[in-house]
Chain A
Amino acid sequence: MRSVLIVARREFVGYFTSPLAYIFLCLFLVLAGALTFYLGGFFERGQADLEAFFAFHPWLYLFLIPALAMRLWAEEHGSGTLELLASWPLTTAEAVIGKFLAAWLFAGLALALTFPMWLTVSWLGEPDDGVIAAAYLGSWVMAGGYLAIGSLASAMTRSQVVAFVLAAAFSFLFVMSGLEVVQGVLRGLLPQDLASAVASLSFLTRFQAITQGALEASDLAFFVLLIVSALTLTGLVVDLKKAA
């Protein structure tokens, strides 16, 4: 456990030694704000809630989280530091979890910096703080899902660009699987149960329920299970790459 924290600390600090961290934070905050006010019609809705803000998170994460995750392992492969990392007394699992935790904390920091949204809506009306807190938690856990997918994609290649594209593509499948238009096609192709199973993997459907105030254990469990599975696969891929 201590090694996990040591790796996480080094990775977290590492984000701030390159411009990436600052670009990511600025882009996230500007886009989150712009989407809420312009596309989400925050004022036109006339409601004291943050649904217009959270509704865009799955789409925002689709491009921003892969950018955060792409360097996790691809950089180690590319620069040969994986060999150095593997020579220190630390298991692959500890390295995988440590790196993931650093990126997840960073995503949490970006999310926390959107607090003026909450302040604004509290100033304008009387929002349900419980719903907003649950949506923040849900959004962070969902970001973890995207990140774990990104970590797996990053472990599969030595190119950060390829890692980015793979992560965005994988995540896109998870986001889209619940959309009506996709489900319509799937129901025609697959048995009913299988089509519903695919729909249940959708980030959109699960996250929508959370933003509307229904933070159910099953939705959280889904994201946690996804994180655990993707990280387990990441560990296996890293070990496979080491052996090859």
Chain B
Amino acid sequence: MPAIVEIDGLGKRFGPLWAVRDLGFSLRKGEILGFLGPNGAGKSTTMRMIAGFLTPSEGRALVCGVDVAAEPLPAKRAIGYLPEGAPLYGDMTPAGLIAFVARLRRLGGADYRRRREWVAECLGLAQVWRRPIDTLSKGFKRRVGLAQAVLHDPKVLILDEPTDGLDPNQKHEVRGLLREMAKDKAILVSTHALEEVTAVCTRAIIVAEGRIVADDSPRGLFADEPEAVFRRLTLGARAAEAG
């Protein structure tokens, strides 16, 4: 099966500092790739480059065969993106935001109504549908962020810490949703919750200091105590760099 997302030699430099360097991996339909690493390892920067928010300093990200930096619009049509911290327009209601995103994504008529009902139901947003986003709890805000990302049934989902701030029940629901959606999508999820990786991901990549230090199935990667493995891999990279 051909890869939907192909990352090739991707790098981003901020001034003299490389946040991400020579990153490469690919993602196929049906895969949920867990993107792990300590804070500042370059996870969000990588996701921002794939989502078309940041322009890479080197290398390229291909989504459905399209170079995101060269042809952002077709790439963005195929991507659903939840940025870190799920920023939203606080003055809008979930109903208003979803209608706005649907218009921008040219989703109309019966298709729109069907998808709108689906996201409201799957993400449990019906009760807050017409309340200003500013007044919602962190968990609801995160789910509204997810709703705008999955609204157009994208082929690729890029989710930066989608379960951060959710309670255990909500986490369970979102993970179920990810598994269900993964059938016809490629999903890239960043997270700090190692148990999430073993629970939903089909594959995991660990980055440290902007480079990939491990790429394996969660079972292969975390056969031992997951946190010990994570520490060994990510601190090991720093030690090797220093040495």
Contact = CB atoms under 8 A, between A and B. Distances in A.
B104 interface: yes
B53 A86 contact: yes
B88 A89 contact: no
Interface stretch (A10-18, A61-69, A137-145): A10-18
A243 interface: yes
Contacts of A7: 104
B22 to A, nearest CB: 20
B92 A89 contact: no
Contacts of B87: 79-81, 83-84
Nearest to A75: B89
Nearest to B73: A89
Contacts of A3: 104
Interface in B50-75: 51-55, 72-74
Nearest to A91: B73
Contacts of B81: 84, 87
Interface in B16-59: 48, 51-55
A17 B90 CA distance: 10
Contacts of A89: 72-74, 76-77, 104-105
Category for how many chain B residues contact A: 20 to 34
B105 A83 contact: no
Nearest to B80: A87
Nearest to A10: B100
B94 interface: no
A17 B148 contact: no
Given A81-B89, A89-B77, A89-B104, A243 B148 contact: no
A90 interface: yes
B101 interface: yes
B103 interface: yes
Nearest to B148: A84
Contact of B79 (A6, A87, A91): A87
B91 interface: yes
B83 interface: yes
A127 to B, nearest CB: 41
B88 A14 contact: no
B104 A81 contact: no
Interface string B85-114: 101111110001000110111000000000
Interface in A1-31: 3, 6-7, 10, 13-14, 17-18
Given A6-B104, A81-B89, A87 B14 contact: no
Interface of A: 3, 6-7, 10, 13-14, 17-18, 79-81, 83-84, 86-91, 242-244
